[in-house]
Amino acid sequence: MEGDNDPRFEPLAGGSPSATGCSSSTTPPVRWTIRTISKHFPEGRTFFHDYYRPFRLKMLKDAPYAYGSTFERVSLHTTEQWDARWSSPNAIHFVALLSCRIPADNTDPKIISALTLRGPGCDSCWEINAVFTDEEYRRMGIAKSVMDEVVKYVERERGNKKTLMRLGVLAENEEAEGLYEKVGFLEKWADGGGLEMVRILG
């Protein structure tokens, strides 16, 4: 990465430019860095189009059953539609980047996990969606580390307000359900063919 002032990204909770993680269950260990994509500089837009957009299409192609849209539909989106997604004031895109791709060695960054945080709504509610980790990098704690940073972000933003965080998961996706329970989403109920899971802060 090009340093703490990289215009492609914005600070995490508490003003830290990034968070890092490492999985010791692999040889060699897998290391990653968590960032949020900037909406205020053209470099953030370029990163969103060049790296996040392909990752978003990959998640829809690899797990079409898990999302509210489809690869076929989203792949037809115009540049203007992607720009609207990038610049939305109520959406924050968290990404985990493979750390071996981070040094300034002209190697392209590689997103290995991502999610979108939306909010706050008028009822101080934040929603997490578009959660996906590349199959090659699952079960290493990467998704949990991203979720942990999201919770920290909402904790900082909520001030003294009681705040609700919510997400949805397929009823048969026990692995994802277990992940969300680990980060405090313990209240849940049936919602169509899935589960609504909630964490209350404050």
Counted domains in the chain: 1
Q: Are 168 and 31 in contact (CB under 8 A)?
A: no
The pLDDT of residue 106: 52
The pLDDT of residue 4: 66
Indicate whether 75 belongs to any domain: yes
Indicate whether 138 belongs to any domain: yes
The predicted model scores a pTM of 0.92
Indicate whether 23 belongs to any domain: yes
Structure token pair of residue 14: 């508490």
Which CATH number characterizes residue 86's domain? 3.40.630.30
pLDDT tens per residue across all 202 residues of the chain = 445 689 999 999 888 889 999 998 787 889 999 999 999 999 999 999 999 999 999 999 999 988 989 999 999 999 999 999 999 999 999 999 998 544 444 568 999 999 999 999 888 899 999 999 999 999 999 999 999 999 999 999 998 899 999 999 998 899 999 999 999 999 999 988 899 999 999 9
Residue 17: domain span: 9-201
The pLDDT of residue 103: 47
Indicate whether 4 belongs to any domain: no
> How far apart (Å, rounded) are the C-alpha atoms in residues 164 and 183?
14
- Say how many Å lie between the first and final Cα of the chain, rounded: 35
Indicate whether 64 belongs to any domain: yes
The pLDDT of residue 100: 58
Indicate whether 1 belongs to any domain: no
The dihedrals phi and psi of 170, each to the nearest 5 degrees, come to -65, 140
Indicate whether 14 belongs to any domain: yes
Indicate whether 2 belongs to any domain: no
Query: Which residue, among 171, 101, 111, has the nearest Cα to 143 in the 3D structure?
Result: 111
